[in-house]
Amino acid sequence: MALLAYLKSLFILQLLMGFVFVVSGLIINFIQLCTCILWPINKQLYRRINCRLSYSLWSQLVMLLEWWSGTDCTLYTDQATVDKFGKEHVIVILNHNFEIDFLCGWTMCERYGILGSSKVLAKHELLKVPLIGWTWYFLEIVFCKRKWEEDRKTVFKGLTRLKDYPECMWFLLYCEGTRFTETKHQISMQVAESKGLPKLKYHLLPRTKGFTTTMQCLKGTVSAVYDVTLNFKDNQTPTLLGIVNGKKYKADMSVRRFPVEDIPDDEQECANWLHKLYQEKDALQENYNKEGKFPGPTIIPPRRLWTLLNFLFWATLLLSPLINFACGVAVSGSPLLIIGFIIFLIIASVAIRRLIGVTEVKKTGSSYGNPEAKKQN
């Protein structure tokens, strides 16, 4: 076990894995670009192909969580809810406290066969991030600038376009709008007090516009809302860098299903429903802190081999020519070739580190609490 942990910490292995992810991502993005010719001919075929292509990329990250770090994911929910996973269009509401919360969500999507068709209401800045933003663009992810005056038209258009999506999708909403920090929490509770809303201890005040708009646009398409509250055992603070280094975490996810017919149609009543939901999420967090677990039965969905096999396919395809090239450079004795290859490795390592930085809390702060920013919805 000590030897395995040592191997996982080796930078060269991490670099090779990063190389596989980046290069395979660029190949996938190019194929996605080529599929654009299908859109005016057969839109649904375009979508099905891109679901599989995005799965091939995202499953590599899921492989890191499941097989490389060995992180465990336990669901706290009932069997009747689990039986519906992957068989209906839903909106997923997830707390935004951890750097890898999205990865835990993707893991559940993968285990129930909907990773490729999972969606999110994402901040517009991510559209500019290579691989991540580009893949999401082809997957019809809805981007927003978190300024409702600018977002209204594009968000309505993007959501409405998904009404006839052919694959079962989970549409993820981070209703808090940004990751939880103590500073943001203090500011958010000041907003709650000014609006006469109950204060939350473990969450930011939810921004209701995104939720009410999504409910309005996808009415008749989505069957339910899944409220997901994520925590980690022993007060762990997981990071993507920790996952890359092979560190194992234990994730607990409470999942509650709410049929859409139980959620009010009126915008204000729907917003009130969301505020009440977050008060319940706060109570769940409080219970978890005291008991070390969520209430209710537990289900541990088994890992699937597809993520590992997919990574091994790309690794075999891409690492063989890279290793042959590196050996050729080494035996050539050419200082120019050797220096050029070293520079390539440095650039690659910096690029991979920057991609990891996209998930880091300290580097992904929003303008939340900026006095010049718009007030919360």
Q: What are 26-59's pLDDT values in tens digits?
A: 999 999 999 999 999 999 999 999 999 999 999 9
Question: Both tokens of residue 374?
Answer: 């718009």
**Whether pLDDT at 376 is above 50:** no
Q: Look at residue 372 in the predicted model and tell me its pLDDT.
A: 40
| Rounded Cα distance, 352 and 240, in Å | 12
pLDDT tens digits, one per residue of 196-236: 998 999 999 999 998 999 999 998 999 999 999 999 998 88
Q: Look at residue 204 in the predicted model and tell me its pLDDT.
A: 95
Torsion of CA 327, 246, 120, 304, to 10 degrees: 90
Kindly report the average pLDDT of the chain as a whole number: 88
Domains in the chain, CATH or no CATH each: 40-305 (3.40.1130)
Its pTM stands at: 0.89
Name the band, by pLDDT with cuts 50, 70 and 90, for residue 1.
Answer: low
Mean pLDDT of 132-140: 93
DSSP 98-139: STTHHHHHHHHHHHTT-STT-EEEEEGGGGGSTTHHHHHHHT
Greater confidence (362 vs 12) lies with 12
Name the band, by pLDDT with cuts 50, 70 and 90, for residue 167.
Answer: very high
| Rounded Cα distance, 19 and 373, in Å | 39
347-350's contacts with Cβ under 8 Å and 24+ in sequence apart are: 348/15, 348/18, 348/19, 348/22, 349/11, 349/15, 349/18
Q: Look at residue 334 in the predicted model and tell me its pLDDT.
A: 79
What is the Cα 183 distance to its own chain's centre? 23
**Whether pLDDT at 24 is above 50:** yes
